[in-house]
């Protein structure tokens, strides 16, 4: 993971999610679509980008909690979204359940987690489509 800061701030087109995706895949921010521009279709654009460019599937999960405490801490890097202290929905990167990177310059993270995006390898063995392993 290579930390990349967002360049567009606030509603409606902030690019914090794009900065998180660029950080995880270690690509330039300019190579990643600004998903904030896609409004309600952002998840379709995120899936398309991740599948076509990285052979990964972004899986959106609700955090599993028990009595307000996180029940499952996912291993590795993943994206978490939730309310920032600034009052906006914001995306950050967690590593093993702890803040690893906030793309916003103030580095204040998020107050709570609304959802998570984990990435699944579409072909972990590296086989080409149609080939037997």
Indicate the pTM of the whole model.
Answer: 0.87
**CA distances for 108 relative to 92, 99, 100, 126, angstroms:** 10, 10, 12, 38
Mean pLDDT by 10 residues, the chain (133 residues): 96 92 98 84 92 95 66 84 91 92 96 92 74 51
**Cβ(91)–Cβ(80) below 8 Å:** yes
* Tens digits of residue pLDDT in 24-40: 999 999 999 998 777 77
**Cβ(17)–Cβ(35) below 8 Å:** yes
**Cβ(81)–Cβ(17) below 8 Å:** yes
pLDDT reported for residue 25:
97
pLDDT reported for residue 133:
47
Give domain limits for the chain: 16-121
Could you write out the DSSP letters of every residue in 71-131?
Answer: S---SSEEEEEEE-TTSSEEEEEEETTEEEE--STT----SS-SEEEEEEES-TT-PPTT-
Locus of tokens 């967002």: 6
**Cβ(21)–Cβ(49) below 8 Å:** yes
Could you give the CA distance from residue 24 to residue 22 in angstroms, rounded to a whole number? 6
**Cβ(94)–Cβ(77) below 8 Å:** yes
pLDDT reported for residue 125:
78
pLDDT reported for residue 66:
54
């Amino acid at each position: 993971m290579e930390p990349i800061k967002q360049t567009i701030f606030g509603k409606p087109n902030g690019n914090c999610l794009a900065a998180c995706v660029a950080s995880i895949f270690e690509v330039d921010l300019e190579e990643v679509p600004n998903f904030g521009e896609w409004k309600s279709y952002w998840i379709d654009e995120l899936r398309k980008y991740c599948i076509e460019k990285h052979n990964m599937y972004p899986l959106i999960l609700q955090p599993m909690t028990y009595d307000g405490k996180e029940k499952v801490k996912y291993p590795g890097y993943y994206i978490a979204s939730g309310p920032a202290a600034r009052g906006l929905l914001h995306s950050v990167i967690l590593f093993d359940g702890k803040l690893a990177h906030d793309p916003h310059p103030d580095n204040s993270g998020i107050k709570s987690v609304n959802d998570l995006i984990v990435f699944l390898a579409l072909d972990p063995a590296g086989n080409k489509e149609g080939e037997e392993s």
